Amino acid sequence: MSVLVLAEHDNAELREATLNAVTAAAQLSDDIHVLVAGSGCAQAADAASKVAGVTKVWLSDDPAYAHQLAENLAPVMVDLASGYSHLLAAANATGKNVMPRVAALLDVAQVSDVIAIESDDTFVRPIYAGNVIATVQTIDPIKVVTVRTTAFEPAAPEGGAASIEALPGAGDMGFSTFVGEDLTKSDRPELVSADIVVSGGRGMGNGENFALLEDVADKLGAAVGASRAAVDAGFVPNNYQVGQTGKVVAPQLYIAVGISGAIQHLAGMKDSKVIVAINKDEEAPIFQVADYGIVGDLFQVIPELSAELDKI
């Protein structure tokens, strides 16, 4: 029984989400293969071959896979599928886009956003924005699964010595064309994998005030996030959003500033190890999940916090 993991990468580097998916795969099998499909992606395939636990890397290098468009990528997974018991990917933008297409072409169900693996065919996943935890069993011969990265530790990026086998690309299916990308540039860690996240909500008042949080974040080596309210108000770009419909994070420390704690937001951060809430409203629901709370005006508390961090 072998497991195939879809690698997430930018052709040069393997994204950390792939390492989380490999850890999930290791709970199912000792024979873990990784598919690196891209354009000029030999370096990413090399990186994949070194990941601890990986036994084989399929390298499919074709201009059609440069941006990992689902219409082109799904057939590659489907062609390989018969040799595997499970097809896995991280449940983020690429995996969510590609894997249901793979499952449908194979006429099997997909199990989305898995947070624990009970056995070969039984998986645990949150439903209703995490208000209910469901255990589901699939009857399909090939299991297509996406995993929540925060629920699985990343595999060691070094220590493996997998073979790399080239897989001819199938070319462009002619369905879709990549036009461009508008990505937020930041020197801070990635939101989903950061050890510390500082998030702002509607209470921040405007986008400029996020500079206060960025100052604290930089002193902590933290990523900056936001609630849906702050994104909808246009304070920050939408890829900052933490919550049911945004990103799910589970850092060591989550600092929620001016965030009331709507259930949709809690769904995205309540698995954090330590939660701090700073809010002027004593009744804000965020305090019900916070380990440490400060009731006060964030425009006073945040500069004080910044000054205190300078002292340590």
Partner 1 sequence: MKILVAVKRVVDYNVKVRPKADGSGVETANVKMSMNPFDEIAIEEAVRLQEAGKAQEIVAVSLGVSQCQDTLRTALAMGADRAILVETDQELQPLAVAKLLKAVAEREQPDLIIVGKQAIDDDSNQTGQMLSALLGWSQGTFACRVEVGDGTLQVGREVDGGIQTVTLKMPTVVTADLRLNEPRYVKLPNIMKAKKKPLDKLTPEELGVDITPRLKLVKAVEPPSRKAGIKVADAAELVNKLKNEAQVI
Residues 118-147 that bind partner 1 (CB under 8 A): 122, 126-140
Shortest Cβ 218–partner 1 spacing (Å): 13
Q: Among residues 107 and 208, whose Cβ is nearest to partner 1?
A: 107
CB 261 within 8 Å of CB 204? no
- What angle, rounded to 10 degrees, do the helices at 70-80 and 93-106 form? 50
Q: Among residues 158 and 178, whose Cβ is nearest to partner 1?
A: 178
Shortest Cβ 200–partner 1 spacing (Å): 16
The torsion angles phi and psi of 127, rounded to 5 degrees, stand at -130, 170
> What is the DSSP track for 226-294?
E-HHHHHTTSS-GGGBBSTTSB----SEEEEES----HHHHTTTTT-SEEEEEES-TT-GGGGT-SEEE
Site residues for partner 1, 173-192, by CB under 8 A, read 174-184, 192
d(CA 260, CA 278): 9
Shortest Cβ 19–partner 1 spacing (Å): 15
Shortest Cβ 206–partner 1 spacing (Å): 19
The torsion angles phi and psi of 90, rounded to 5 degrees, stand at -70, 145
Shortest Cβ 55–partner 1 spacing (Å): 28
CB 93 within 8 Å of CB 62? no
Site residues for partner 1, 203-222, by CB under 8 A, read 220
Q: Among residues 155 and 277, whose Cβ is nearest to partner 1?
A: 277
Token pair, residue 53, equals 């636990």
Question: Does 292 contact partner 1 by CB under 8 A?
Answer: yes
Stretch that binds partner 1, among 20-28, 37-45, 197-205, 244-252 (CB under 8 A): 244-252
Number of residues that bind partner 1 (CB under 8 A): 90
Tally of CB atoms within 10 A around 135? 10
Per CB under 8 A, the list member of 65, 84, 152, 287 interacting with partner 1 is 287
Question: Does 265 contact partner 1 by CB under 8 A?
Answer: no
Q: Among residues 161 and 307, whose Cβ is nearest to partner 1?
A: 307
Q: Among residues 163 and 238, whose Cβ is nearest to partner 1?
A: 238
Shortest Cβ 216–partner 1 spacing (Å): 10
Q: Among residues 155 and 275, whose Cβ is nearest to partner 1?
A: 275
Q: Among residues 153 and 308, whose Cβ is nearest to partner 1?
A: 308
Q: Which residues contact 117 (CB under 8 A, 6 or more apart)?
A: 24, 27, 28, 123, 124
Site residues for partner 1, 39-68, by CB under 8 A, read 67
Shortest Cβ 165–partner 1 spacing (Å): 26
Q: Among residues 59 and 89, whose Cβ is nearest to partner 1?
A: 89
Site residues for partner 1, 66-105, by CB under 8 A, read 67, 69-71, 74, 92-94, 96-105
Question: Does 253 contact partner 1 by CB under 8 A?
Answer: yes
Shortest Cβ 152–partner 1 spacing (Å): 17
CB 15 within 8 Å of CB 8? yes
Q: Cα separations (Å) of 238 from 64, 94, 171, 242, 246?
A: 28, 17, 33, 9, 8
Shortest Cβ 108–partner 1 spacing (Å): 7
CB 77 within 8 Å of CB 87? yes
Q: How many CA atoms lie within 13 A of 55 on its CB side?
A: 11
